[in-house]
């Protein structure tokens, strides 16, 4: 099955959206396109599993390789392994939910849906590309729609936050580009598979690794560069903030993972900085969330804290922690998308996101409140939901590292589960429980599209929560391949 | 120290003196006249260098044409007697320093660059040879530039007329 | 060994009810939810009784010890080849005993709530949460892997949050639910780190394997665990004490007990189930489950003992001063659990010193019955009087005869009067304490006296003191409320006679215990004196208690105010964590980190404004720059790049 | 002068050139700037003639160069003055400082 179909389908949907008119037509086409994409992704999963079942142990499957710009050895080389397939499934789920949640978007709806599909196309391309340049190309494709989505359809000082987001992401991609150039000039190829064979000398790695890692780190809300996250998410419309938190931060995480696997010695060398920043991000993000009064800011800051786990997992550089990082990426994607969807539903009804003004919504909208509670419980790591599985795997992985300081870092990030509990319960307690104000009392509950979107995401969360061995089996070979490059696979004795 | 060197220093002094005064005098008309003297002394230098044709051209075109043109423009644009504003001190000092520095730098270059002067070869700059070479199409011929320059002069003429034409529409 | 796989059904039935009632409850089963919940729980109770009979009597002992059977094991999440979370069911004396306790008490509560919660708007969700709780409690009991314990531990915490916050429109209930979850979550953090330590040094997460590796002194894991030390204490002590902190949080031991009294905001049947019989004993069960490892490390055991003893004494003192009857019962639960904890703490493995272990679990067994009976009785009274305060009650013995008798039996049982269950289990604890640690014995004795004092203070002020001023009152509630009271009362009487010692002992071998009367004179005597003091003070309504309270002065006030522990916690969170950590971080993020990024933006703007000045439109400037450029280039070309 | 008088001529022409440049920098009136440019052109012509006479007497390239420069200088002066007049009409002053619309 040719992987380019994954990119072709969004393009076709985008074109179809452009040529349709009227909100009804646009949203139906958008929905059909995204459901088709979800079907395609699950079909790909089935094929992938069959392939693995019949014992095909190639690291990357369904590869296709066309020279794109032979002079600079850039070729359109695409292929997937367990990790990228998990990411594709996550993206397709969030895209369907995102389109369903923005069912009543009547302001410039054609452009809105077009940009959403374009952004998802960027993400799909990013996850399947095995050539660093194609990877970078799709990373760029995904940045522009974000800026427009927040700038035009956003709320609050949307221009300012859109500008900040776009500039910081551009800075990130600039740094990534420097990193890629460094790799290119030392291996004369952009192809990931060849780079791992040729290998980059340690000196070069140590010089270019920070560029690429910090570049992708900016996408994944690495500590000092996370300031675009709160403003960007808070002023983005619901679907855009779902995509932003659910997909674009995963681009960063996935990118960091690829860079760490391409330059393992440097990753080891800088591991202590990565872990330090990740721990700060986790604890700092959690405490900062405690102080927020706006629901979207709460979720934005909590995404910083959760993405800190991803970076922590990558920084620890052993099989379990990288497994944990990937599961955390998937689980956090679903969880934040669900949380933003719930906040969007509440906002569309009560027109306020301030906790102080909300209260006792359980009486007025039981379904949305249960969705809110589920998202909250998942993010504080209740077993039965994916948050728990991800965090525990990262903890187990990072605990195996015998270095005392890293163990302290794990304990500190462990303490974040308490702070997360505090701010989640504070938010849920205030908005869902407590006495309801009279004008909120007569608000309607979720419409069919919101129900379906929430149900979709919740099934994702619960499946990973109840049966993590499925996801573990899927991404297992992927992490083994990464650990192969990392050399010493620090597994538990 | 024979007569030609004295003559040379005299001409040089005239050129530079008139030049400086042309550049620094406050009255614009006086500056134009000093420019006239400077150009004439340059023609004298050409005579001193026995390139009479170039000297003649210099007098005809530069002195006769361009300086007269400048004086006309002075009459056209303002009363010649009006004082021109003294430029700001800082600008004069800085440009003076720049000019001096440039001058010393280039002189230093000239001193250190050993020109191997080709003694012995005859220098024939008579009008006859200039005329032949100007229109010859052989190896060193200048027929092409000659034609191009004519077109250029034509274009310049038309250009000036168009630019300086009094536009009834804009009044 | 007969096939025990049907035990998997016991936790799954409540899970099924939770899913059914949770998703469809609101629309279809709002009225019939109670019956569905109770029916499914009846089924699992019967199953657990069958399992107990089969395990204890049919299979019986193999060379004097009951076998540990792993009925079912599946790798749930594998971290690495030999470290993984696997879900499984373990059948051994403790888990079967706990099965019986949890299912029967839960059944009683389900039946009682049929009457008590009738007419509630969210009736179905109530039963959904109740069955979720029962499922997670049963899961916790049957787990074979420490992480599986942790998973169900969290689920128990979450369902208690949902149940305490059941009356969500009451802000106090929401605050109580939040407090309960956060405090237990804090303790769970300790539990998690303890698991990580044990898992890493023990090389596995499986409880059986861990016990096997960490109890064999010459095993590699044990050696490097005791040698590796951090801040003076060996890793084994760190691991075990952290796990105990997790247990202490859930069982409301001293420092982490503040959530238990507030948890009374939830409906009373919930308190009966969660805060009397099941959830709070999870900590005791955890320590009992890992007891062989604990016994290898005396320092963590002493931690268990002293925290347990202090909590028992501390709670008893506060209980004597409280006026809200549910708060009194909450503190009495905390005190009784303190008993169980220190009984475990002073026990050793095997033979005579193992008495503490057996006594503690026996007390757990009996306590579950009479404490849930007390709570259900209190629930019936509150249902009648519609208020929790003692002063609004009085003289209810005529209006509520059955509740009165049941309540009296329970009070006698908890006070430890001979024929009742409390006497036997408390005697065992006191004998164990007497043999091993005299100080603990003294504290236990005094606390026993205090217990009987506050229990009978409660009893007399509810059923005797002044005549009841209730005008309109509907009868004592339907049979669904009376039946559980009677059944539990019967259990409270008979539980004492169960030959506990040959079922559950620290090393599995039967331990013949005898009640020597001389020894038990002291405690029973003290109890009778305390009861008479309580009767003297509270039988008839008079001002003697307030006078006595005045004499104690500030001590009484402090006890009434729960020794200001709540205020301390509030002070820490409100005054220290929020203003000194929360706000600075939020401010720092907005100003410093974000400010830095904005600064970058501003400086670029400033620089670009300056550069813009060069395009000044002044021709002469341009000539100057032009000349400067030529000069520099010429210098470069001539002098540097020869 | 013992050997060829090339060096003094070059010095004179450089001096003339930098006097012209100084004039260009300090003069605010466009016409005087035009004069300064004329001076600079003349210094270039002197150079050409001097080089041709003293270094490559057999060929007359230098001379021809000077001729063409003079021709072009004339054209250039004419166009410059046309522009100045036009500027004078629109700005009523030919001070170079006033014509600064083309700034940021």
Cα separation, C504 vs C97, whole angstroms: 9
Give yes or no for C75 touching A (CB within 8 A): yes
Six token digits for residue A117? 């599909």
Give yes or no for C580 touching A (CB within 8 A): no
Residue of chain D with shortest Cα separation from B146:
D68
The pLDDT of residue C262? 87
State the virtual CA torsion across A361, A367, A373, A377 in degrees, nearest 10.
180
State the virtual CA torsion across C293, C296, C302, C308 in degrees, nearest 10.
20
Q: Would the CA dihedral through B145, B146, B152, B155 be positive or negative? A: negative
With 0-12 / 13-18 / 19 or more C-beta atoms within 10 angstroms meaning exposed / middle / buried, residue C546 is exposed
- Give the residue carrying structure tokens 């009640």: C515
Residue of chain D with shortest Cα separation from C624:
D25
Confidence grade of residue C273 (pLDDT, cut at 50, 70, 90) = confident
C354, C507 contact by CB (below 8 A): yes
Closest approach of chain C CAs to the CA of A174, in angstroms? 16
Give the C window 620-639 contacts with B, CB below 8 Å: 620, 624, 627-628, 631, 634-635, 638
Which of A339-348, A380-389, A446-455, C81-90 is predicted least confidently?
C81-90
The pLDDT of residue A490? 39
Integer angstrom CA distances of residue A399 from A388, A404, A408, C47, C412: 16, 10, 9, 41, 51
Residue range B1-83 in CATH 3.40.50.1450: no
Cα separation, C101 vs C52, whole angstroms: 11
Closest approach of chain C CAs to the CA of D58, in angstroms? 30
Which of the other chains make 3 or more beta carbon contacts under 8 angstroms with chain A? Answer: C
Confidence grade of residue A88 (pLDDT, cut at 50, 70, 90) = very high
ipTM of this predicted complex? 0.77
pLDDT digits (tens, 9 = 90+) for B87-145: 778 888 888 998 999 999 889 888 888 777 666 677 777 888 888 888 888 877 888 99
Mean per-residue pLDDT of chain A: 89
Six token digits for residue C238? 């760190």
Confidence grade of residue A14 (pLDDT, cut at 50, 70, 90) = very high
Confidence grade of residue A493 (pLDDT, cut at 50, 70, 90) = very low
Average pLDDT over residues C185-209: 88
3 state DSSP class of C419: coil
**Side-chain-side CA neighbours of residue A180 (13 Å):** 26
For A257: left if phi > 0, alpha if psi spans -120 to 50, otherwise beta; the answer is alpha
Give the A window 208-237 contacts with C, CB below 8 Å: 224, 226-228, 230-231
Integer angstrom CA distances of residue D35 from A234, B70, D73: 65, 8, 11
Confidence grade of residue C642 (pLDDT, cut at 50, 70, 90) = low
Number of domains within chain A: 1
The pLDDT of residue A488? 45
pLDDT digits (tens, 9 = 90+) for C226-266: 777 777 788 888 889 999 999 998 888 888 888 888 888 88
Mean per-residue pLDDT of chain B: 85
Closest approach of chain A CAs to the CA of C577, in angstroms? 9
Question: What is the pTM for the complete model shown?
Answer: 0.83
pLDDT digits (tens, 9 = 90+) for C97-142: 888 999 999 999 999 888 888 878 888 889 999 999 999 999 999 9
Residue of chain C with shortest Cα separation from A293:
C586
3 state DSSP class of C418: coil
DSSP letters for C127-191? HHHHHHHHHHHHHHHH-SBHHHHHHHHHHHHHHHHHHHTTSTTSHHHHHHHHHHHHHHHHHHHHH
Is A142's pLDDT higher than 50? yes
Integer angstrom CA distances of residue C500 from A423, C249, C441, C511: 46, 28, 22, 9
The domains of chain D, with CATH numbers, are 6-98 (1.10.287.3510)
Q: Would the CA dihedral through A377, A330, C146, C37 be positive or negative? A: positive
The pLDDT of residue D1? 44
Q: Which residues of A touch C570 (CB under 8 A)?
A: none
Cα separation, A194 vs C559, whole angstroms: 74
The pLDDT of residue C474? 64
The pLDDT of residue C15? 92
Average pLDDT over residues C358-381: 88
* Contacting residues for C421 by C-beta, under 8 A, at least 6 apart: C366, C369, C370, C413, C491, C492, C493, C494, C495, C496
Average pLDDT over residues C85-90: 87
Report the DSSP beta bridge partners of residue C89.
C72
Phi, psi for B81 (deg, rounded to 5): -75, -15
The pLDDT of residue C475? 65
Q: What is the 3-state secondary structure (H, E, C) of A296-326?
A: HHHHHHHHHHHHHHHHHHHHHCCHHHHHHHH
Q: Which of D11, D45, D84 sits opposite B110 (nearest CB)?
A: D11
Q: Which residues of B touch D70 (CB under 8 A)?
A: 57-58, 61-62
DSSP letters for chain D? --S-THHHHHHHHHHHHHHHHHHHHH--BHHHHHHHHHHHHHHHHHHHHHHHHHT-TT--HHHHHHHHHHHHHHHHHHHHHHHHHHHHHHHS--BTTT--TT--
Give yes or no for C551 touching B (CB within 8 A): no
Give the D window 19-78 contacts with B, CB below 8 Å: 19-23, 25-29, 31-32, 34-36, 38-39, 42, 45-46, 49-50, 53-61, 63-64, 66-68, 70-78
pLDDT digits (tens, 9 = 90+) for D80-89: 988 888 888 8
pLDDT digits (tens, 9 = 90+) for C577-624: 788 888 888 888 888 888 888 888 899 999 998 888 777 777 788 888
Which of A72-76, A314-318, A486-490 is predicted least confidently?
A486-490
The pLDDT of residue C1? 60
Cα separation, C200 vs B121, whole angstroms: 99
The pLDDT of residue C28? 78
Closest residue by Cα to residue D83 from D30, D25, D27: D30
Average pLDDT over residues A167-192: 90
The pLDDT of residue B81? 56
Confidence grade of residue A407 (pLDDT, cut at 50, 70, 90) = confident
The C-alpha angle with vertex A59 and arms to A54 and A63, in degrees rounded to 5, equals: 90
The pLDDT of residue A454? 92
Confidence grade of residue A492 (pLDDT, cut at 50, 70, 90) = very low
Termini Cα distance of chain B: 65
Mean per-residue pLDDT of chain C: 85
Confidence grade of residue C472 (pLDDT, cut at 50, 70, 90) = low
Cα separation, A480 vs A294, whole angstroms: 41
Instruction: List where CATH 1.20.120.1200 sits in chain B.
Output: 1-83
Phi, psi for B55 (deg, rounded to 5): -60, -45
The pLDDT of residue B115? 76
pLDDT digits (tens, 9 = 90+) for D88-97: 888 777 777 7
Percent of chain C surpassing pLDDT 90: 12
CB contact under 8 A, D85 and B111: no
Is C504's pLDDT higher than 80? no
Confidence grade of residue C71 (pLDDT, cut at 50, 70, 90) = confident
Closest residue by Cα to residue C18 from C143, C120, C159, C118: C159
Confidence grade of residue C552 (pLDDT, cut at 50, 70, 90) = confident
Termini Cα distance of chain A: 40
The pLDDT of residue A489? 35
Q: Which residues of B touch C634 (CB under 8 A)?
A: 105
Give the A window 137-166 contacts with C, CB below 8 Å: 164
Q: Do chains D and C touch (3 or more CB pairs under 8 A)?
A: yes
* Contacting residues for B104 by C-beta, under 8 A, at least 6 apart: none
Number of H helices, E strands in chain C: 27, 4
Give me the domain span that covers residue A398: 5-492
The pLDDT of residue C426? 86
Report the DSSP beta bridge partners of residue A77.
A65
């Amino acid at each position: 099955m040719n992987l380019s179909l994954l990119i072709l389908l969004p393009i076709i949907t985008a074109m179809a959206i452009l040529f349709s008119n009227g909100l009804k037509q646009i949203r139906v086409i958008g929905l059909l396109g995204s459901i088709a994409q979800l079907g395609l992704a699950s079909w790909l999963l089935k094929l992938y599993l069959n392939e693995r079942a019949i014992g095909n142990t190639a690291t990357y499957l369904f590869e296709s390789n066309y020279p794109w710009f032979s002079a600079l050895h850039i070729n359109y080389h695409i292929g997937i392994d367990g990790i990228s397939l998990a990411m594709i499934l996550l993206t397709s789920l969030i895209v369907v939910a995102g389109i369903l949640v923005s069912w009543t978007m009547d302001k410039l709806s054609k452009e809105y849906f077009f940009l959403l599909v374009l952004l998802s196309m960027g993400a799909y391309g990013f996850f399947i590309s095995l050539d660093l340049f194609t990877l970078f190309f799709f990373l760029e494709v995904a940045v522009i729609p974000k800026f427009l989505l927040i700038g035009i359809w956003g709320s609050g000082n949307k221009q300012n936050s859109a500008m900040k987001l776009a500039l910081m992401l551009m800075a990130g991609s600039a740094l990534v580009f420097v990193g890629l150039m460094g790799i290119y000039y030392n291996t004369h190829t952009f192809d990931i598979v060849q780079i791992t064979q040729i290998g980059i000398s340690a000196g070069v790695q140590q010089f270019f690794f920070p560029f690429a890692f910090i570049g992708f780190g900016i996408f994944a809300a690495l500590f000092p560069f996370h300031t675009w996250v709160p403003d960007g998410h808070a002023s983005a419309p619901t679907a855009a903030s779902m995509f932003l938190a659910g997909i674009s931060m995963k681009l960063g995480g996935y990118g960091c993972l690829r860079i760490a696997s391409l330059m393992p010695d440097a990753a080891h060398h800088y591991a202590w900085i990565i872990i330090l920043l990740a721990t700060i991000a986790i604890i700092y993000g959690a405490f900062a969330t405690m102080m927020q009064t706006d629901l979207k800011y709460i979720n934005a800051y909590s995404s910083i804290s959760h993405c800190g786990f991803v970076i922590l997992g990558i920084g620890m550089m052993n099989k379990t922690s990288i497994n944990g990082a990937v599961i955390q990426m998937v689980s956090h994607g679903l969880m934040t998308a669900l949380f933003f969807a719930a906040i969007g539903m509440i906002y569309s009804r009560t027109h306020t996101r301030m906790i102080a003004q909300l209260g006792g919504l359980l009486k007025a909208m039981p379904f949305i409140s249960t969705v809110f509670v589920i998202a909250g419980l998942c993010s504080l790591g209740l077993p039965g939901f994916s948050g728990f599985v991800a965090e525990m795997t990262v903890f187990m992985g990072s605990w195996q590292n015998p270095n005392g300081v890293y163990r302290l870092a794990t304990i500190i990030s462990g303490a974040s589960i308490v702070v997360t509990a505090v701010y989640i319960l504070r938010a849920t307690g205030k908005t869902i429980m407590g006495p309801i104000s009279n004008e909120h009392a007569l608000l309607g509950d979720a419409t069919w599209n919101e129900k379906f979107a929430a149900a979709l995401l919740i099934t994702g969360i619960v499946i990973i929560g109840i049966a993590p061995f499925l996801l573990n089996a899927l991404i297992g070979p992927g992490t083994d391949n990464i650990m192969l490059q990392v050399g010493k696979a620090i597994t538990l004795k | 120290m024979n007569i030609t060197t004295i003559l040379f220093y005299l001409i040089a002094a005239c050129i530079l003196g008139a030049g400086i005064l042309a550049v620094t005098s406050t009255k614009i008309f006086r500056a134009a006249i000093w420019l006239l003297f400077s150009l004439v002394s340059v023609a004298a230098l050409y005579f001193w260098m026995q390139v009479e044709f170039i000297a003649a051209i210099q007098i005809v075109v530069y002195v006769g044409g361009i300086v007269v043109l400048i004086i006309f423009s002075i009459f056209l644009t303002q009363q010649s007697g009006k004082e021109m504003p003294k430029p700001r001190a800082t600008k004069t000092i800085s440009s003076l320093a720049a000019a001096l520095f440039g001058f010393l730098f280039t002189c230093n270059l000239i001193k250190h660059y050993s020109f191997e002067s080709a003694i012995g070869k005859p220098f024939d700059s008579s009008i006859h040879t200039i005329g032949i070479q100007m229109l010859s199409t052989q190896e060193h011929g200048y027929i092409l530039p000659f034609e191009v320059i004519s077109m250029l002069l034509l274009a310049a003429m038309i250009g000036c007329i168009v630019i300086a034409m009094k536009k009834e529409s804009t009044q | 060994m007969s096939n025990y796989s049907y035990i998997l059904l016991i936790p799954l039935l409540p899970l099924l009810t939770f899913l059914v009632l949770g998703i469809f409850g609101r629309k279809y089963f709002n009225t019939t939810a109670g019956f569905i919940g109770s029916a499914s729980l009846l089924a699992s109770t019967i199953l657990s009784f069958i399992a107990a009979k089969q395990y204890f009597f049919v299979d019986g002992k193999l060379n004097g010890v009951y076998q540990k059977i792993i009925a079912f094991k599946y790798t749930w999440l594998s971290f690495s080849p030999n470290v993984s979370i696997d879900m499984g069911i373990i059948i051994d004396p403790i888990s079967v005993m706990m099965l019986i306790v949890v299912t029967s008490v839960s059944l009683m509560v389900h039946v009682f709530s049929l009457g008590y919660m009738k007419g509630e708007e969210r009736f179905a969700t109530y039963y959904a949460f109740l069955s979720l709780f029962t499922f997670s409690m049963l899961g916790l009991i049957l787990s074979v892997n420490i992480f599986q314990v942790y998973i169900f531990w969290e689920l128990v915490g979450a369902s208690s949050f949902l149940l305490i916050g059941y009356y969500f429109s009451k802000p106090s209930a929401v605050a109580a639910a939040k407090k309960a979850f956060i405090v237990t979550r804090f303790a769970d953090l300790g539990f998690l780190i303890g698991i990580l330590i044990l898992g890493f040094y023990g090389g596995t997460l499986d409880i059986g394997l861990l016990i096997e590796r960490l109890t064999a002194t010459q095993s590699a894991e044990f050696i490097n665990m005791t040698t590796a030390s951090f801040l003076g204490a060996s890793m084994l002590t760190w691991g075990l004490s952290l796990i105990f902190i997790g247990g202490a949080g859930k069982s409301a031991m001293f420092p982490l007990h503040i959530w238990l009294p507030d948890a009374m905001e939830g409906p009373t049947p919930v308190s009966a189930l969660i805060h009397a019989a099941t959830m709070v004993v999870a900590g005791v069960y955890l320590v009992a489950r890992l007891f062989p490892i604990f016994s290898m490390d005396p320092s963590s055991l002493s931690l268990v003992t002293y925290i347990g003893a202090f909590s028992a004494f501390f709670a008893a003192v506060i209980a004597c001063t409280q006026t809200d009857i549910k708060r009194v019962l909450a503190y009495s639960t905390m005190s009784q659990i303190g008993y169980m904890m220190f009984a475990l703490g002073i026990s050793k493995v095997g033979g005579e010193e193992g008495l503490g272990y057996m006594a503690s679990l026996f007390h757990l067994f009996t306590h579950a019955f009479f404490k849930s009976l007390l709570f259900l009785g209190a629930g019936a009274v509150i249902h009648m009087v519609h208020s929790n305060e003692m002063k609004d009650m009085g003289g209810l013995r005529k209006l509520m005869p059955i509740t009165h008798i049941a309540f009296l039996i329970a009070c006698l049982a908890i006070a430890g009067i001979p024929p009742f269950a409390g006497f036997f289990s408390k005697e065992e604890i006191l004998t164990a304490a007497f043999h091993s640690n005299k100080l603990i014995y003294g504290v236990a004795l005094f606390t026993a006296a205090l217990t009987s004092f506050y229990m009978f203070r409660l009893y007399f002020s509810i059923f005797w003191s002044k005549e009841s001023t209730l005008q309109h009152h509907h009868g004592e509630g339907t049979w669904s409320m009376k039946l559980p009271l009677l059944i539990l009362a019967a259990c409270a009487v008979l539980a004492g006679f169960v030959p506990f010692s040959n079922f559950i002992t620290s090393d599995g071998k039967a331990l013949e215990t005898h009640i020597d009367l001389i020894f038990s004179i002291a405690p029973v005597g003290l109890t009778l004196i305390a009861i008479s003091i309580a009767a003297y003070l509270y039988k008839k309504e008079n001002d003697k208690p307030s006078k006595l309270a005045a004499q104690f002065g500030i001590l009484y006030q402090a006890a009434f105010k729960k020794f200001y522990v709540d205020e301390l916690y509030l002070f820490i969170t409100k005054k220290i964590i929020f203003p000194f950590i929360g706000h600075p971080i939020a401010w720092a993020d907005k100003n410093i980190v974000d400010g830095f990024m904005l600064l970058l933006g501003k400086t670029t703007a400033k620089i670009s404004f300056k550069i813009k000045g060069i395009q000044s439109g002044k021709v002469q400037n341009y000539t100057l720059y032009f000349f400067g450029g030529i000069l520099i280039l010429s210098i470069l070309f001539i002098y540097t790049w020869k | 002068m013992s050997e060829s008088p090339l060096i003094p001529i070059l010095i004179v022409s450089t001096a003339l050139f930098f006097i012209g440049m100084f004039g260009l920098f300090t003069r605010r009136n466009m016409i005087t700037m035009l004069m300064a440019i004329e001076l600079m052109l003349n210094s270039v012509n002197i150079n050409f003639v001097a080089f041709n006479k003293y270094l490559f007497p057999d060929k007359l390239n230098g001379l021809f160069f000077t001729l063409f420069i003079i021709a072009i200088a004339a054209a250039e002066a004419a166009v410059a003055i046309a522009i100045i007049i036009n500027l004078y009409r629109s700005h009523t002053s030919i001070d170079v400082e006033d014509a600064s619309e083309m700034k940021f």
